Amino acid sequence: MPATDDFTVTPYAVEGDIDYDRLLEQFGADALSPEQKARFPSPTHPLVRREVFYAERDVDPFLDAASEGTTHSIVTGRGPSGPMHIGHVFPFYFAKHLQDQTGALVYIPFSDDEKYFLKDNSLEEISDYTRENLLDLLAIGFDPERTRIVVDTADADVVYPLATAFAKEVTQSTVDATYGDPENIGLSFYPAVQATHLLLPQLVEGRHPTLVPIAVDQDPHVRVCRDIAAKQRYDVDKPGALLSKFLPSLEGPGKMSSSGDEASILLSDDRETVFEKIRTHAFSGGQTSIDEHRRRGGNPEIDVSYRLLYYFFEESDERLERLAREYRDGTLLSGELKDIAAEKIADFLDAHQERRESLDSLEAELEPYRLTADERRAARERAGFPANALIQQ
């Protein structure tokens, strides 16, 4: 588990000022090359061209399949332990972008069981968050013909048999070495469930390249799954991964959090709240006074408002470069930059909230995205469970 005196990055904890290059060395991943970035469908998403997605594992088979028009899939999930904020949602909008460009299958697992193992929330609280988070994911507008949403506890008829098969491939020593000493046996078992998530598209559709766009702290799940796939007991390829940096916390370095005392911008925040949070909490790279800022300029590299625009909320590279230049030379003030970022974020949230409010009931909206009986049966059979197993069809 990557933990140093300077920073800690695990699936369950992210702390400190993260050295992303050193993290690659510790995880054994590769930097995303200029050639690979150029192979993403045009127009290349800002998250790729600006190296927010900065590292990869076996991304080339996915890019080959996307360019050739053959079957390829994306898996990126959600752990429903609270309301969703803007840091949670950008991988899903990225997946939607690729689906629109390439026709990719998108699988979205909801790890409600893991969050119960990991958090102090009750099962009822986790269930409530799951319902609310699902509505936010449905508001993104994925193609229901090419998207499957799987909730671990609701889809246990397919998740548990597959996890049972994969659990036999993972030793406790591997879990301990990868994740540390688990707090309970649920977390010891959970890597098998994560492997189920990542291999499910292939178990439903047959062998094909899968890409997992995921925050870098979740890479251990990918590594364990790749080890399972490499044993070749199942007709699957090792999933590839696209690893992202963290959307910055409003307070500065580190990922944005929806728990604890740190402020974060929720998908449910209205315009007034967004402006208040940015103006009050967003860490500034400017000087302590207007006169000093006019004289010395600011540093956009550490300014959270600029970083939010850079990561996700400003499409135009030219405008970003202009904002950075004006901030450095002192003609753009910190308060003005905050308002620019707040306006962009509020516009994004207005559109998201409008789509969410137009949805019907969760049950009606979710139904087209659920695995069909035939897909459930195919996944179980490819994992080695016989067609006549005593499982509800």
Q: How do residues 230-277 score in pLDDT, each as one tens digit?
A: 987 889 999 999 999 988 889 875 554 444 557 899 999 999 999 999
pLDDT score for 21: 82
The answer to whether the peptide bond before residue 368 is cis (omega within 30 degrees of 0) is: no
pLDDT score for 29: 87
pTM of the shown model: 0.92
User: Yes or no: is domain 7-250 CATH 3.40.50.620?
Assistant: yes
Q: Which fold has domain 257-357?
A: Tyrosyl-Transfer RNA Synthetase (1.10.240)
Give 210's strand partners: 73
Report how far apart, in Å, the C-alpha atoms of 375 and of each of 148, 203, 300 are. 10, 9, 48
Q: Same CATH topology for 7-250 and 257-357?
A: no
- Alpha helix (H) residue ranges in the chain: 20-27, 34-39, 46-49, 60-68, 86-102, 112-118, 123-138, 156-167, 172-179, 185-205, 219-230, 271-281, 290-296, 304-308, 317-328, 334-357, 362-366, 373-382
Least confident of 28-42, 126-140, 243-257, 273-287: 243-257
- Residue 9 clears pLDDT 80, i.e. is over it: no
Nearest-CA neighbor of 13 among 243, 183, 129, 225? 183
